A and B are shown apart, each in its own frame.
Chain A
Amino acid sequence: MIRFFLTFCILLSGLIAPVDALSQAQKDTLVVCLGKARPKSLDPAVSNTRQVLTLYHNWGDTLLYRDPVTGKIVPGLAKSYRILDNGDMELTLRKGVRFHNGEPFNGAAVKFSLGLLKNSDSRVSRYLADIKDVMVLDDHHVRIEVIKPIPTLSQLLANVLFIYPPGYYQEVGKKGFGRHPVGTGPYRLVSNRGFTEMNFERNLRYFGGPKGIAKIPKLKIRIIKETIPQMEALISGEVDLMRSGCVNPEQVLFLKQADQVKVLSTDILRVYFLVMDARGRSGATPFKDKKVRQAVNHAINRDKIIRDAFNGFAVLSDSVVSPLHFGYENHVTRYPYDPARARKLLAEAGYPTGFDTDYYAINNESAAESILGDLKAVGIRAKPQWMMGKWDQFYQKFLKGEIPLAFMTWGSYSIFDASALLNHFFMADADACYGTTPEINRLLEQANGILGAEERGKLLSRAQKRISEEALWVPICFVEVICAMHNDLHFQPAMDEIDRYFLASWP
């Protein structure tokens, strides 16, 4: 009898005890803070923010897939593929795959998707410019036809050629698809509350692709506008995981002390840099003068920015690309921090008392402020235009050529090749180009048509050297991505900066 009562007492005490953190964590939902800004669309052809890209790879699929552990490209929606002598690629598609709405995935869907993504208003059209068309051989066989051999073709098919359901897209249109996208991925969207809270459920009919069935049944995506409330939500257990890249490096020191939070990081492709309008697209600007650009390079104290604003989660960069990009070249012209030399160069350029300019920044306010102070110290009176987290609005202005000076970042669409950044920013006909030379343009064009790694590497290296000699940008650093989460959550940030929430699990 006594044993019975003791057992009863222990059971009762367990029942009336408040729910502790672990049992909360064992819930069937993974709550992720995606970032500060509401996406304007969930369609990656419309919005190229890292948030939207990350979500895409959770609700959608691509023909090929990057294994997050090995980094290798493996078949995704395609079962197998081979590259033909002329650079075309033939793919055998998986059979029996359906989109979340039941629509079948087939060769017609691949052809429709490429057409949509090559459209001039698509954010990724430039990346796919050298793909001519998709020839549908039959329902389960397609040939990707190229204009010229594309060295990064398999990476493009894993990271940029998003697959759309033709019937559904045509039914709901671009806006409708952006609000409620349908894919073949491990999670399917259930509700979207004004892009501030998006609820997903596990796709139980997920095909036997490399991603596998999502381990946690539900995924809730939240947007939290400011840093402190984001951290507060993580510590208090309202949020289980901060999207990789969403954690401000300044917060890491604090988060590492928090009991129920762990912080992980990994090297990624992302680089931070200052773009100067060397072409004068934004109007009459002093940055057209090479001496002014050299002065700006000498004016910026990058060591301080890395120490204070990036909290050490970054490495000073002299090249405009990161060591993870194929073709990275570190032996480029260096511009050590030297404000006196910067002032001298400005005087030589005809600006002994400096000048005024607008200055845009979209990320890492501390770094942006530090740059502002450095510019002021040499006489450049930069008027801050902070567009923190508002990538879509900023990027639209950027592409239109309205920005004289910008502190920004680029993740290269997770393509581990220097051309993914260089083509985008330094080819003369690119909308994002604010400075290049005929030689740089020629080097990049040559590199784009060659498959041989050695020769390509040399061309890409030479292009980086010329970019540095011309001081077209101020490269600041390449960074580690930081990810903060509940202590009990099993999750790893990936080197391609794409969070696979379907791989997350509770113990």
Chain B
Amino acid sequence: MLFCLIFILPWITMSRMSLSADPENAKKQEITALYLYNFLLFVDWPKNAASDTIKLATYGAPRVYEALKPMAGKMIKGKKLVVFSLAGPEGLDDCCQVLFVGDTEPQILKELLKEVNGKPVLTISDKAGFVRLGGMVSFEDPGGLRKAEKKRKRFIINLSAVRKSRLKIRSRLLRMSDIVYDTEPVNLEMP
């Protein structure tokens, strides 16, 4: 009986909680993927950067990568979507049109942004402060499930960085954003 109380109860409880937590987590990943997917719909790349594929790289975001993987090979606006996970900033040169950055050290983030600086690569993150470091688009805590309109995630665009990369963000996306910065990055430290 004591065995039951000490071992079985916590085991059953924990396993139940972990099982039921999975759908929640899956939803968070799907919502992150939803945002990313829509950015692909609402962004135009310069003609010389356009090809018949849209290459989307993730860094420091294994779960987002997993959520996006099933979409690889699908056609978006006549282009085939390619999804891959980057091991480090060194593999970034001219390899993608979209870069999603998840958890990373400030120094590596700095290197990543430096690598794509001025290139037609859309940089996105779900980390607060990303756009102030020179990133283009961030949606803060996109995976959090909002319960009311007031708790909606903040969706921020750095137009200056977008312009520098010769990308065009459609007005629809700008209308949906909460804040549009049109300034140079203010610092290179993660807040």
Contact = CB atoms under 8 A, between A and B. Distances in A.
Nearest to A384: B171
Interface stretch (A57-65, A119-127, A253-261, A346-354): A253-261
B37 A260 contact: no
A260 B71 contact: no
Nearest to B68: A257
Contacts of A253: 37, 71, 74, 76
Contacts of A231: 34, 38
Contact of A20 (B23, B145, B170): B23
Contacts of B108: none
Interface string B156-191: 000000000000001010011000000000000000
Given A2-B4, A228-B38, A237-B27, A18 B33 contact: no
Q: Which secondary structure dominates chain B's binding surface?
A: helix
B33 A254 contact: yes
Nearest to B37: A254
A365 interface: yes
Interface string A14-42: 10111011000000000000000000000
B20 interface: yes
B45 interface: no
B146 interface: yes
Contact of B34 (A21, A232, A307, A369): A232
Interface in A224-269: 226-229, 231-232, 235-238, 250-251, 253-254, 257-260
Contact of A227 (B4, B9, B19, B38): B38
B24 A12 contact: no
A228 B176 contact: yes
Nearest to B81: A253
Interface stretch (A3-11, A45-53, A97-105, A406-414): A3-11
A236 B33 contact: no
B138 to A, nearest CB: 14
Interface in B3-33: 4-5, 8-9, 12-13, 16-17, 19-21, 23-24, 26-27, 30-31, 33
Interface string A355-380: 00000000001100100000000000
Most buried by A among B21, B35, B172, B176: B172
B49 interface: no
B1 interface: yes
A18 B17 contact: yes
Contact of A307 (B16, B74, B78): B78
Contacts of B26: 259
A392 interface: no
Interface in A206-233: 226-229, 231-232
A10 to B, nearest CB: 6
A81 B24 CA distance: 54
B91 interface: no
A1 B145 contact: no
A22 to B, nearest CB: 9
Interface in B63-85: 70-71, 74, 76-78
Interface of A: 1-2, 5-6, 9-10, 12-14, 16-18, 20-21, 226-229, 231-232, 235-238, 250-251, 253-254, 257-260, 304, 307-308, 365-366, 369
Given A18-B20, A254-B33, A257-B71, 5 more contacts: A9-B4, A17-B19, A228-B38, A228-B176, A235-B34
25 contacts: A5-B1, A6-B8, A9-B4, A16-B13, A17-B13, A17-B16, A20-B20, A20-B23, A21-B23, A227-B172, A231-B34, A231-B38, A232-B34, A236-B145, A238-B145, A238-B146, A251-B38, A253-B76, A254-B33, A257-B33, A257-B71, A258-B34, A307-B78, A308-B78, A365-B172
